[in-house]
Structures are given as structure tokens and as C-alpha cells.
């Protein structure tokens, strides 16, 4: 049994996310994961999508050894060494020479447990680093003007804001507005269990 840190939420949702990714993505590609945390998502996705190469990353330097250890423990040859990455930075890959571009940028459960500025950073950075037909996929809870919010999400939002006033479940419309500023648009909305959404963002036609 692994002694590495484990997120119960990631353990619960990794398979349902993978199932949807298999429906949405081609057989091969390159992916950047933002906010990889314990590395459970990237380990699951790399196993379930063997034609894909994954670049995990996290804002917290302390998460990187955990992600790397999990990849080694599970023998994941297509998971690159994790990088420390701040989505609000003007350059995500300052030491990379030519900035890398990806078929997929994936980000789960970050927006509601980080300051609002990370949303603009995520959208702007994704617009810079996605290939022309690439997609940004975000996963987590959202508030939607046209959909009644589940009581559990309302309570979760209150608990987040009590921990840190800069946190909280984001309005999907506000996230979409930041995407529009960056030249991205919401392409698909998928409702997943536990009142979470998987949202697919693509380059807007006039930004191609």
C-alpha cells in the first residue's frame, strides 16, 4: 500500500473524469495539468490514456516530490517531472526557451480554493500555451445563474469563504467572462456526480 499523501476527493472523482476525457480526447496528445496536488489525477489519466504525455505542475513546491514519487511508484513513463507553476505569472515556462504548447490543459478543483486572480491567469496562460485545436478542461463546482445551486454546494461555498474570504465557488458566467478576455469560449458543459461540472474551453473563432 502506498504511503504517499492521498486526496479523498481525487480518489472519488478520478475515474468519472477519466471516463469523460476518453470520450472527448483523441487517442494521442500532450497535456499540461495545472494544480496536480497529490498526483492522483495525472496517474489515473496517464494509465487510462496511454497515448498521451503528461506534464504535471503545482503552485506548492512541496507537492512536486509527491507527484514524482507517485509516477515512479506506478511506473508511468509518459509523466514528465513535475514543475512548480504559478498561473498568475506572466511567463509559465520562463526557463523553457521556446514556450511549450499542448493539446490539452487540465485543471481540477483549483478556482474555488485560490484567489480570483488565478482564473484570469489560468485563461490567459492557457490561451498562450494551447495548440490551435487544443482545449482547456476545468473541473469542479460552479454557481450557475440558470440552475438552482445544490444545498451541499451552498454549504461548501460558505465553508470555503469562512476559511479564506478570497476563496469560494465561482459563477460560471464570471469564469466565462475571463475566458472571453483571453480569447477562449465555453464549448461544452458536462454535469458530473456530486454537483460538479466538467467544462471544455476552446479558442474563440475570431482569435484563431
Domain ranges of the chain: 1-7+25-86
Which pLDDT score, from 0 to 100, does residue 91 have?
92
The answer to whether the beta carbons of residues 101 and 73 sit under 8 Å apart is no
Tally of CB atoms within 10 A around 116: 15
Confidence of residue 97 (pLDDT cuts 50, 70, 90): low
Could you give the percent of the chain with pLDDT greater than 90? 92
The answer to whether the beta carbons of residues 186 and 179 sit under 8 Å apart is yes
pTM of the model: 0.95
Q: What is the mean pLDDT of residues 37-61?
A: 97
Report pLDDT digits (tens) over 105-150: 999 999 999 999 999 999 999 999 999 999 999 999 999 999 999 9
The fold adopted by the segment(s) 1-7+25-86 is Rossmann fold (3.40.50)
The answer to whether the beta carbons of residues 56 and 129 sit under 8 Å apart is no
Q: What is the mean pLDDT of residues 152-159?
A: 96
Confidence of residue 98 (pLDDT cuts 50, 70, 90): confident
Distance CA 64, CA 151 (A): 35
Distance CA 143, CA 48 (A): 30
Whether residue 207 has pLDDT greater than 50: no
Whether residue 206 has pLDDT greater than 70: no
Average pLDDT, the chain: 95
Whether residue 55 has pLDDT greater than 50: yes
Confidence of residue 208 (pLDDT cuts 50, 70, 90): very low
Amino acid at each position: 500500500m502506498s504511503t504517499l499523501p492521498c486526496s479523498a476527493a481525487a480518489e472519488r472523482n478520478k475515474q468519472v473524469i477519466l471516463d469523460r476525457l476518453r470520450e472527448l480526447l483523441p487517442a494521442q496528445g500532450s497535456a499540461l495539468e495545472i494544480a496536480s496536488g497529490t498526483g492522483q489525477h495525472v496517474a489515473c489519466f496517464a494509465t487510462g490514456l496511454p497515448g498521451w504525455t503528461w506534464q504535471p505542475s503545482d503552485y506548492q513546491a512541496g507537492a512536486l516530490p509527491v507527484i514524482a514519487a507517485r509516477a515512479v511508484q506506478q511506473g508511468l513513463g509518459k509523466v514528465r517531472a513535475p514543475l512548480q507553476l504559478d498561473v498568475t505569472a506572466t511567463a509559465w515556462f520562463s526557463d523553457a526557451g521556446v514556450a511549450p504548447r499542448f493539446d490539452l490543459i487540465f485543471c481540477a478543483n483549483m478556482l474555488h480554493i485560490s484567489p480570483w486572480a488565478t482564473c484570469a491567469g489560468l485563461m490567459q496562460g492557457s490561451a498562450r500555451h494551447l495548440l490551435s485545436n487544443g482545449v482547456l478542461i476545468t473541473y469542479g463546482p460552479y454557481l450557475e445563474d440558470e440552475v438552482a445551486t445544490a444545498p451541499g454546494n451552498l454549504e461548501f461555498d460558505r465553508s470555503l469563504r469562512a476559511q479564506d474570504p478570497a476563496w469560494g465557488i465561482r459563477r460560471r458566467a464570471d469564469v466565462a467572462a475571463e475566458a472571453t478576455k483571453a480569447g477562449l469560449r465555453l464549448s461544452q458543459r458536462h454535469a458530473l456526480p456530486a454537483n460538479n461540472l466538467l467544462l471544455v474551453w476552446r479558442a474563440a473563432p475570431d482569435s484563431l
